[in-house]
Amino acid sequence: MKKLIVILIVCMVGLNVSAQMPDSVLIQELKKEVKMLKKEAKGLKYQVSTLKKQHQEDLEKIKTSLDENAGKVGDLKNELDGTNGALAEHQQSSDERIGVLEAWTKKMLMILIIMFGILFIVLLILVLMNRSAVKKNFIKLEAKVENVKEEHSIAHKELEKKYLAELEELKKGFADKK
């Protein structure tokens, strides 16, 4: 396209010049202009080839950078998948531990209720069988019942503390994984 425009300009200039100059002078003038145009064309070709090389180098740099970034993204995705898997395993393990602790607490409460029921029945039997002997031993039995209540209360509190400590440990472990 550029060559065509240059040729048209040369032709127009040539026509104008030919109308005013003799043919030999006109031919020499056209030869000079053609030489100048050839020099300009060579310079432009050199610039185009230089720009193409620079463009190709830039494309290679961008491609290399994109490949590196794609690798990093893949690595991060793999790491995230691994972390999510570990988190799911930890969550499942935590849920199982909490379930075991809750079941154990329920069993202990049932044992405590049954024991108090048995103590109450024994107390009633003793009262009905021998009121006079019961009156003497009632204070001792009441003290024993209170001791048992305190022991069970202490045991229950210890279990509750242990349960809360394990629950906090699980929460802390879960928070650390995030």
* pLDDT one-digit tens code per residue, 23-76: 678 788 888 888 888 888 888 889 989 999 999 999 999 999 999 999 899 999
Q: What is the reported pLDDT for 123?
A: 83
* pLDDT one-digit tens code per residue, 78-135: 998 988 888 888 889 888 988 888 999 999 999 999 999 999 998 888 777 776 665 6
* pTM of the predicted model as reported, rounded to 2 decimal places: 0.36
Which tokens is 87 given? 């988190």
Q: What is the reported pLDDT for 4?
A: 63
For 34, residues 6+ apart whose C-beta sits below 8 A from its C-beta are 10
